[in-house]
Structure 1
């Protein structure tokens, strides 16, 4: 018998010569079945993930290709709906806006219809007069029609709030321009605010409710109601929503203008001028009325120099503003009249601006040209001014301009 014939030192787990007991075979079979089950479950999970992924991809493909169904109206619309397109809006955003306003049954009705007309990508910011319950195709056709867009209000430099008479014709002021843009259609009839309604709202409503910026509030509250909003609507283009109240209309324009004024430097850029932001606005309006753009900086310097002297500004434009006249010159009676806008008699700046200032006039009001000129007169027919340091120089240039028929 060998040394281990009895199997005392042999491991039954590793000794292949020793036959497996029944219990061991059952254990091994159980292990094999468990491994098989794990592999089966794993493959099922993989198959499920692939199925979901392929389903999602197919759904995305269908959406991109426009295969699926979507809600859409059949008609050309029912009642008026004003829709605003904002700067930077893409087609999908416009579609969402139309849907939110009840114009179309689904955003996709518009995006699908827009694929046939590239002009949709060129829709400009502004307000559009649409109809509720339009088909996607009709909504696209209406959006790209130039007549659908509400015309923007163009405010030019020097424009007054109210109309003036010039050469027998009425020159529309800010209020009249806003009234013309306020129109909408209801039951087939054109409905507009009037200039008088807008003027009344401007004069009677709390300036805070009108959106007047904080830096102008004190001066606006002190001013004569008929002049208090003058100058706060600077030169520029304004989008006006039709169908709103007079107060809402004015507020939207004042708030928009306040943003433009801020970009032009009021109030932020006025700190080193020696004037309050509202006074800089007044100066800018005087510059706008008294000169052409290339002379803005020098006219601004004359204003600064005269106020520092002190010396009356002696501007005909301020008298004509109060008298609602467009003329350049004034009469002796006008210049002798005692009223707040007569800068021949009243020293300093006018109580309010005298018109809508441009960005260029504001820039000149914030940073004048420099120098010691004290006088100027229009000396060329294109509006160019000649500047002088002394009254004698000024008189000579004034007489020459008159002899040459400049004015």
Structure 2
């Protein structure tokens, strides 16, 4: 057998061989001793490597034996299941992770019961994050069929740009549910015939009275939230998007969950990290974004943001109808002289409340947030909706603005 590595040869014997060229003496013996020590170290290292390889091979063989010995046998329930249970599929969960979650909740008898039943169903790999209403003690086949059925997925909360916390009543009497009402409806689940919801009253109480820290309010917003009117203090902190809700959570748990998800989105949009260049605090930039969302169409967001910042810099009243209508619960773009004469912290026509309103006036979407962080450059101080598609005309002087207002009214824009 070849011993190219020198594992089985004796370095002491090799050094006994006569050498050519003489040299002799004490120096030769010292050199030979050094060579023998070097070979011993090399042999020791190689033996350690071999031992590790063999040990790894043994562990692999044992693992392989364990795996192979289980082929064809796994626990599985029979039937469609017994009692209702809610399970969560988290973002990024693979089929194996979903199977383990089902086993942990006693939906299936073993993870393999689910994976084997779903091996031929491509829909299993497309299961989306969220909460699912399942049954305990289901067969793997029944669990697969239920997981891929859209009816089993608990409908998430959807928030759109401009939504507000409270319900809004239109001039014709139509009520648009606010975020709190929508959150209550989305929290409902029926378990074994009994419907359970977190009520609007419970959510309002938590939103208005719970410790902001318990609700997950970040440090950069804490002072403003504590100082805000309690019925409005969470406004603007629940951004547009989908929210997967745990039906078993209480009011504080639900609010903390959606606020946490929203803050992750907000951080990705640049708040608080990118707000320093605006010269305003992160919460103030969020307020500006909410004004932008209400006052303009997307293509005008950057200019609307610039008008707001220009007015603030000049010490000018913001004079925005959207802030007045926010407190009047009216989804319209204009106000009357009587409306503008009202007092209150959200009336930006009132000299007593100069500056930004105390909270956002709705949920700004990503583009509104980005516009508030990076407004367009320009000297504009005025704008008015001048086209039927919502496009605004922007002006530097009030005289120019007044002329555009008259022209838009003449053309029936508003």
TM, length-normalised to structure 2: 0.83
1:181–1:240 contact (8 Å) kept in structure 2: yes
Does 1:219 find its partner at 2:219? no
What is the correspondence of 1:185-224 to structure 2 with a 5 Å cutoff? 185-224=190-229
Deviation at 1:62, TM superposition (A): 5.7
Deviation at 1:185, TM superposition (A): 1.2
Separation (CA, whole Å) in 2 of partners of 1:213 and 1:230: 14
1:78–1:133 contact (8 Å) kept in structure 2: yes
- 2:339 partner SS: helix
Does 1:80 find its partner at 2:87? no
Does 1:333 find its partner at 2:338? yes
Match of residue 352 from structure 1: 359
Does 1:159 find its partner at 2:159? no
Residue among 345, 348, 353 paired with 1:343: 348
Does 1:283 find its partner at 2:301? no
Does 1:134 find its partner at 2:138? yes
Residue among 380, 388, 396 paired with 1:389: 396
1:83–1:128 contact (8 Å) kept in structure 2: yes
Deviation at 1:151, TM superposition (A): 1.2
Runs of at least 5 residues in structure 2 that lack an aligned partner in the other structure: 1-55
The verdict on how the C-alpha distance between 1:56 and 1:333 changes in structure 2, with shifts beyond 3 A counting, is: closer
Does 1:369 find its partner at 2:376? yes
CA deviations on 1:218-255 (whole Å, 9 max, x unpaired) are 10001111000000011122111112111101110001
Structure of higher CA gyration radius: 1
Match of residue 319 from structure 1: 324
What is the correspondence of 1:52-91 to structure 2 with a 5 Å cutoff? 57=64, 60-61=67-68, 63=70, 66-67=71-72, 69-91=73-95
- 1:180 partner SS: helix
- 1:176 partner SS: helix
The verdict on how the C-alpha distance between 1:282 and 1:51 changes in structure 2, with shifts beyond 3 A counting, is: closer
Separation (CA, whole Å) in 1 of partners of 2:273 and 2:410: 45
Separation (CA, whole Å) in 2 of partners of 1:325 and 1:393: 29
Match of residue 5 from structure 1: none
Deviation at 1:78, TM superposition (A): 2.1
Does 1:230 find its partner at 2:235? yes
Match of residue 46 from structure 1: none
CA deviations on 1:45-69 (whole Å, 9 max, x unpaired) are xxxx999987865654465xx42x2
Match of residue 146 from structure 1: 150
CA deviations on 1:16-61 (whole Å, 9 max, x unpaired) are xxxxxxxxxxxxxxxxxxxxxxxxxxxxxxxxx9999878656544
The verdict on how the C-alpha distance between 1:55 and 1:160 changes in structure 2, with shifts beyond 3 A counting, is: closer
1:183–1:243 contact (8 Å) kept in structure 2: no
Aligned structure 1 segments of 4 or more residues deviating by more than 4 angstroms: 49-59
The verdict on how the C-alpha distance between 1:141 and 1:337 changes in structure 2, with shifts beyond 3 A counting, is: same
Deviation at 1:343, TM superposition (A): 0.2
Match of residue 43 from structure 1: none
CA deviations on 1:137-190 (whole Å, 9 max, x unpaired) are 111111000011111211111100011012321111111111111011133132
2:235–2:363 contact (8 Å) kept in structure 1: yes
Separation (CA, whole Å) in 2 of partners of 1:52 and 1:249: 46
1:84–1:125 contact (8 Å) kept in structure 2: yes
Separation (CA, whole Å) in 2 of partners of 1:219 and 1:358: 21
Separation (CA, whole Å) in 1 of partners of 2:239 and 2:100: 33
- 1:272 partner SS: helix
Match of residue 37 from structure 1: none
- 1:380 partner SS: coil
2:307–2:382 contact (8 Å) kept in structure 1: yes
The verdict on how the C-alpha distance between 1:140 and 1:382 changes in structure 2, with shifts beyond 3 A counting, is: same
Separation (CA, whole Å) in 2 of partners of 1:54 and 1:209: 51
Match of residue 20 from structure 2: none
Match of residue 401 from structure 1: 408
